[in-house]
């Protein structure tokens, strides 16, 4: 695309793992573009929709009342084709044939790699960081993180209540295969006795068991462990701890619960600001 060419038509898509606040970002993109006299099309199911030419016109009415809704009304999906050069070239070709002058992609690290491949093929691309994992380089915040940690924190608070009442050890596994920010923030906010993440991984189970036994001798009646998804094996860990210490131990995997729900105020505001910019 030549420099200085006016942008008349924008495409917007949500890609990869869904995150609360994606709808707010799409809404802001649409409202801002319309304000500047641009046409906007939504591309359904991420890069898959770009490859399959699955588009829907977006207007102010299309995005009305979406700011408070979780998930993404454009849907999202993983797109294995975007890993291949053939898939990337087809996506770029379809983008040009549809007359899309600029593409806005809301997603995580895999989505940003897709953005780079399209930019190398001549597509004007803007990436908006949207992932609960907070693992995008060169940005301090990603849409969805605040909602995810508040959802996880509420669940951990409730587990702590019952763990204390039953004098037991509780392992709570949170999302974060390669990034332990959810585990770290929730561990700090909930006063967990132990936090296990891939970045800080010097975990020795014997030391953990020794710490549990020491704290029990000192009068601690419960023990909370926040375990990042990348460490895994929470249920096996629970069995081994119970066998070694005699302390009743359970594992709770929060899973996709962390991706759902209405976005927090922070996620709505940040998503709106990013989308408008």
Give pLDDT tens digits for 160-211.
999 988 889 999 999 988 889 999 999 999 999 999 998 876 678 888 899 9
Instruction: Identify the pLDDT of residue 169.
Output: 93
- In terms of domains, do 125 and 37 share one? yes
Tell me the pLDDT of the chain averaged across its residues: 92
Is 135 inside a domain boundary? no
**Domain check: are 24 and 113 in the same one?**
yes
Q: How does residue 1 score in pLDDT terms, banded at 50, 70 and 90?
A: very low
Domain count, the chain: 2
**Inter-axis angle of helices 205-217 and 234-245, nearest 10:** 50
CATH of the domain at 85: 3.40.50.450
Q: Is 18 annotated in the active site?
A: no
Alpha-carbon span 137 to 215, nearest angstrom: 38
pTM: 0.91
Q: Are 20 and 87 contained in the same domain?
A: yes
Catalytic-labelled residue, pool 133, 135, 146, 267: 133
Domain residue limits at 125: 9-130
Same domain, residue pair 78 and 121: yes
């Amino acid at each position: 695309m030549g420099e200085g060419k006016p942008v008349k038509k924008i495409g917007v898509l949500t890609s990869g793992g869904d995150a609360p606040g994606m709808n707010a970002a799409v809404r802001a993109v649409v409202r801002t573009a319309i304000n500047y006299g641009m046409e906007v099309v939504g591309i359904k199911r991420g890069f898959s929709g770009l490859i399959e030419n699955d588009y829907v016109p977006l207007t102010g009415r299309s995005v009305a009342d979406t700011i408070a809704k979780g998930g993404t009304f454009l849907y999202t999906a993983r797109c294995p084709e975007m890993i291949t050069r053939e898939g990337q070239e087809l996506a770029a070709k379809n983008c040009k044939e549809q007359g899309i002058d600029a593409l806005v992609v809301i997603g995580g690290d895999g989505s940003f790699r897709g953005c780079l491949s399209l930019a190398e093929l001549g597509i004007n691309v803007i990436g908006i960081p949207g992932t609960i994992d907070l693992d995008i380089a060169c940005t301090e915040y990603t849409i969805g993180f605040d909602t995810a940690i508040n959802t996880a924190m509420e669940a951990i608070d409730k587990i702590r209540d019952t763990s204390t009442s039953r004098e037991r050890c509780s392992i709570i596994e949170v999302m974060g295969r390669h990034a332990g920010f959810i585990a770290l923030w929730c561990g700090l906010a909930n006063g967990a006795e132990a936090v296990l993440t891939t970045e800080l991984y010097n975990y020795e189970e014997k030391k953990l068991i020794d710490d549990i036994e020491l704290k029990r001798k000192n009068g601690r009646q419960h023990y909370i462990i926040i375990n990042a998804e990348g460490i895994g094996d929470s249920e096996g860990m629970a069995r081994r701890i119970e066998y070694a210490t005699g302390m009743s131990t359970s594992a709770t995997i929060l899973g996709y619960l962390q991706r759902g729900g209405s976005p927090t105020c922070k996620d709505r505001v940040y998503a709106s600001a990013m989308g408008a910019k």
